[in-house]
Amino acid sequence: MFHWLEKHPFFFSVGVFLVIAFAGLVEILPSFAQASRPVIGTKPYSILETTGRQIYIKNSCNACHSQLIRPFKSETDRYGHYSLSGEYAYDRPFLWGSKRTGPDLMRVGNYRTTDWHENHMKDPAGVVPGSVMPAYRWMYTNIADIPTAYAEQLTNAQFFSVPYNEPIPMKDGTTEVVKMGNNVTQAHAMALAEAKEIAADMKDQNVKDAVARGEIPEIVALIAYLNSLK
């Protein structure tokens, strides 16, 4: 049979393809049948959080930081409750990472503050002596891209039925609504409202001035995203 295949490239290729495609069919398809359902309390990202997530991706934060807490005592002691599949239901793409040059960030919002991030992103080794993380000072002047984040929210809502403007069940039995703007102007106004709350806890005068002018520096959006990780 093999000698025959080696003289018939078409059938040889078909054979190879079937053999390599088999594992994918068996391993991946069943998992898609039961698509990720959000756990109670998992909310879609707000406009400023979405912007911050894009900045996290733009700077490949996931190259050094994981967002996946494994079910070991040492990890739950350090980072909090181990990760559940449903917590990632709104993550497109997923940001688990594959390397922990720095610590896991899955629940960083539980134990770090706006103030801490502001100082740390400017001078990591100044806050954590011995840190090998580079500073991200350009984020304090670069202006965040709200329209692209808004387009991402819309894509999530329209193609993947992510529940914006709908009541979402919370752990305490109440519901919350994550609002999404009707147009990009509204989206920008909503982002700015979120940004003002963050900037109120910050010290950098240039950032505060920018937000007062109606501009949102990247660092503000990034901190909004990091604070949402719980």
**Contacts of other proteins in 145-204 (CB under 8 A):** 145, 147-152, 154-160, 181-185
In what helix (H) or strand (E) does residue 167 lie, and over which residues does it extend? strand 167-169
CB of 59 to other proteins, least distance (A): 5
Out of 11, 40, 94, 212, which residue is the one contacting other proteins (CB under 8 A)? 94
Taking the least distance from each CB to other proteins, the nearer of 12 and 169 is 12
Residue 176: strand, helix, or coil: strand
**What is the size of the binding site for other proteins (CB under 8 A)?**
93
The residue whose two tokens read 């599949």 is 85
CB of 193 to other proteins, least distance (A): 19
Looking only at the bridges linking them, the beta strands covering 175-177 and 167-169 are antiparallel
| 215 binding other proteins? (CB under 8 A) | no
Taking the least distance from each CB to other proteins, the nearer of 99 and 203 is 99
Taking residue 74's Cβ as centre, other Cβ atoms within 10 Å add up to: 8
Asked if residues 114 and 201 have their Cβ atoms less than 8 Å apart, the reply is yes
Out of 11, 40, 57, 166, which residue is the one contacting other proteins (CB under 8 A)? 57
- For residue 106, give every residue at least 6 positions away whose Cβ sits within 8 Å of its Cβ, in sequence order, or none: 66, 67, 68, 69, 79, 80, 83, 229
- For residue 81, give every residue at least 6 positions away whose Cβ sits within 8 Å of its Cβ, in sequence order, or none: 69, 107
**Contacts of other proteins in 60-79 (CB under 8 A):** 60-64, 66, 68, 70-75, 77-78
CB of 200 to other proteins, least distance (A): 27
Taking the least distance from each CB to other proteins, the nearer of 156 and 227 is 156
CB of 140 to other proteins, least distance (A): 12
Out of 11, 110, 137, 201, which residue is the one contacting other proteins (CB under 8 A)? 137
Only one of the segments 4-12, 105-113, 170-178, 201-209 lies at the binding site for other proteins (rule: CB under 8 A); that segment is: 4-12
Task: Tokens for 202, please give them.
Answer: 């910050």
In what helix (H) or strand (E) does residue 175 lie, and over which residues does it extend? strand 175-177
Task: Tokens for 158, please give them.
Answer: 């329209």
